[in-house]
Chain A
Amino acid sequence: MPSITELANPTRFMSLSGRLLPWIAATALALGAVGFYGAFFTAPADYQQGETIRIMYVHVPAAWLAMSFYVLMTLSALGALVWRHPLAEVAQKAAAPIGAAFALICLITGALWGRPMWGAYWVWDARLTSMLVLLLIYLAIMALWRTIEEPSQAGRAVSILTLVGFVNIPIIKFSVDWWNTLHQPASVFRMSGPTIHPSILWPLLICALAFSLLAVALHLVAMRTEIMRRRIRTLTILAADRADRMPASGIAHGSPAE
């Protein structure tokens, strides 16, 4: 099993990720089919929410992934700033759009669940608001990557912003405990165990695993793209340097002083 330091080599990462990708994607699709079947055909309707509980099978995994990808970005930011891991910045940049997409899914599906259950698409509840803040942080990070052209400078600025933004993650997680919110408290990750019946919990966990594997597959593809983008940038700079030197030597040879 290769260590983290060995994986720091982008060439090795490209070869390993290339071999793993088809398996991860195929497993994600297979689990997604099983999870959605469970969500629609085996899981019962909730005694209070009725059929609307089926929205949860998309909403909850999206929320978990939006937060998990931010944690991943924070660890990558530490890796980039403290240990200068060559792949840390790449992982960080590739994770932002994926995390943003899941945060958006969480907010949209939450609104579509809220309308029939609460009578409103949106309320300025602590959980909803902190989730919206997470989406805005993701968008700010993506904008910052595009604003600074030099990747290493952009990486440092983004890493600092990512570390500052991490303060929002515990706020999202504990908002339902710290404030009196309309959003229900945690029902899966609790010290005393899940409060959901296994007939609903299992399809939820399978859906969450399928979404996670899909997100990992997309992240690996995006990381491979970023590595290629950086290679192209280096090659372009080298080619431009070579081109700059060539006409200069031509002028020198053909100069009147010769």
Chain B
Amino acid sequence: MSMLEAALGPHAVFIVGSYVAAIGIIGALAFQVVADNRARKRELAKFDRRREIAGADASRAGAST
């Protein structure tokens, strides 16, 4: 901490704390936003796969009749 205090003065802990808090909150927000986006993408892809399978089944059934 003494190196930080030499560079940023006696209130270095408050300055560093501010940046750590800001980066931590933005990092957590970005992580949550991106993770949510990926989860929804996976879910939507699952629906699309199911629809493709259902479509293929329907066309097979149509061809057999």
Contacts and interface: CB of A to CB of B under 8 A. Distances in A.
A226 to B, nearest CB: 9
B9 A50 contact: yes
A101 B9 CA distance: 28
Contacts of A101: 25-26, 28-29
Contacts of B25: 101, 104-105, 108
A246 to B, nearest CB: 12
B59 to A, nearest CB: 17
Contacts of B61: none
Nearest to A114: B14
Given A105-B21, A214-B26, A54 B34 contact: no
A51 B18 CA distance: 13
Interface stretch (A1-9, A55-63, A197-205): A55-63
A34 interface: no
Instruction: Determine chain A's interface SS by DSSP, over half rule.
Output: helix
Contact of A51 (B12, B30, B44): B12
A29 to B, nearest CB: 11
Nearest to B28: A101
Nearest to B34: A221
A112 B21 contact: yes
A127 interface: no
Contact of B8 (A51, A225, A229): A51
A16 interface: no
B40 A51 contact: no
Nearest to B35: A225
A109 interface: yes
B37 A225 contact: yes
A232 interface: yes
B11 A224 contact: no
Interface string A52-74: 10110011001000000000000
Interface string B26-63: 10111011101100110110010000000000000000
Q: Which 7 A-B pairs have the closest CB atoms?
A: A228-B40, A51-B9, A116-B11, A109-B18, A225-B37, A58-B22, A55-B18
Interface of A: 45, 50-52, 54-55, 58-59, 62, 97-98, 101, 104-105, 108-109, 112-113, 115-116, 214, 218, 221-222, 224-225, 228-229, 231-232, 235, 239
Interface of B: 8-12, 14-15, 17-19, 21-22, 25-26, 28-30, 32-34, 36-37, 40-41, 43-44, 47
18 contacts: A45-B9, A51-B8, A55-B14, A55-B18, A58-B19, A104-B25, A105-B22, A109-B18, A109-B22, A112-B21, A115-B14, A221-B33, A221-B37, A225-B40, A228-B44, A232-B43, A232-B44, A239-B47
